[in-house]
């Protein structure tokens, strides 16, 4: 937008996407003033920098977000979701590396930031450093916090968990509460039979 003709006529530009405070910080950056990138405004500033093609601000925002990636923070899932939504591959990779290594360390509230697409991408990774049982518990957290009731969605996600790899004793005792909620009775019996005759 700033490198060509304005694609509309008129004396004003309607920018209802963002708040006054976020626009003020954005324009301060454009006019060379010190910009205060914060947790509260970074996503809006990144959105505006992409919308109006301001790569230097975009790079500052990406650096800020990378510096806030932390396995003990819900911001990691939020940043992963945000980066996926806006195709910020480097940020996706950084956040996903943390998620792969520390997936079982996140609290249930952290999962509210993940979409179905996000959770499918995570579960389908062969690089997760988590047991299949802990992955099942993690999926339960995501389903609970996001109030997912669509059986097709649940089945699609559960099908990516290698349930037969859960040790027999743990499968019999710890997976049973998931029967009827996440795992069908038929699937549960099928895996019990697999453990009986591996």
| 183 CB-near residues (< 8 Å, 6+ apart) | 158, 163, 175
**What integer is the mean pLDDT of 179-195?**
91
- Is the pLDDT higher at 72 or at 191? 191
**3 state DSSP class of 162:** coil
- Is the pLDDT higher at 150 or at 70? 150
Domains and CATH numbers, the chain: 72-196 (1.25.40)
pLDDT at 189 over 90: yes
Q: Which two tokens stand for residue 153?
A: 């969605």
Burial (CB < 10 A; 0-12, 13-18, 19+), residue 77, is buried
Q: What's the length of the chain? A: 198
| Chain segment 47-82, per-residue pLDDT in tens | 999 888 899 999 999 999 988 887 666 788 888 888
| Chain segment 111-141, per-residue pLDDT in tens | 887 889 999 998 999 898 999 999 999 899 8
- CA 101 to chain centroid: 14
**What integer is the mean pLDDT of 96-114?**
83
Burial (CB < 10 A; 0-12, 13-18, 19+), residue 134, is middle
Q: What is the pLDDT of residue 158?
A: 93
Q: What is the pLDDT of residue 10?
A: 61
| 172 CB-near residues (< 8 Å, 6+ apart) | 192, 195
| Distance between CA atoms of residues 20 and 176, nearest Å | 53
Q: What is the pLDDT of residue 14?
A: 65
**What integer is the mean pLDDT of 85-106?**
88
Distances 44 to 16, 39, 52, 75, 105 between C-alpha atoms, Å: 12, 10, 12, 15, 28
Distances 38 to 42, 47, 109, 113 between C-alpha atoms, Å: 6, 14, 22, 19
| Chain segment 8-42, per-residue pLDDT in tens | 566 666 667 778 888 888 989 999 888 788 888 89
Find the angle CA(192)-CA(196)-CA(198) to the nearest 5 degrees. Answer: 105
| Distance between CA atoms of residues 9 and 33, nearest Å | 29
- Using pLDDT thresholds of 50, 70 and 90, give the confidence band for residue 1: very low
- Is the pLDDT higher at 174 or at 74? 174
């Amino acid at each position: 937008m700033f490198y060509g003709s304005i694609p509309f006529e008129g004396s004003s530009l309607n920018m209802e996407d963002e708040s006054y405070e976020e626009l003020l910080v954005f324009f301060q950056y454009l006019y060379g003033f010190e910009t205060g990138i914060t947790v509260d405004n970074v996503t809006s500033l990144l959105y505006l920098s992409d919308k109006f093609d301001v790569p230097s601000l975009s790079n500052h925002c990406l650096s800020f977000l990378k510096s806030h990636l932390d396995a003990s923070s819900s911001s990691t899932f939020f940043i992963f979701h945000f980066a996926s939504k806006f195709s910020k591959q480097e940020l996706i990779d950084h956040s996903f590396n943390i998620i792969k290594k520390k997936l079982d360390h996140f609290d249930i509230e952290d999962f509210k930031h993940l979409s179905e697409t996000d959770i499918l991408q995570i579960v389908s990774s062969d690089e997760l450093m988590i047991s299949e049982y802990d992955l099942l518990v993690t999926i339960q957290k995501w389903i609970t916090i996001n109030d997912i009731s669509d059986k097709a969605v649940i089945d699609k996600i559960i099908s990516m968990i290698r349930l037969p790899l859960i040790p027999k004793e743990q499968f019999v005792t710890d997976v049973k509460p998931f029967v009827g909620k996440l795992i069908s009775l038929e699937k549960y019996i099928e895996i019990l039979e697999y453990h009986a005759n591996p």
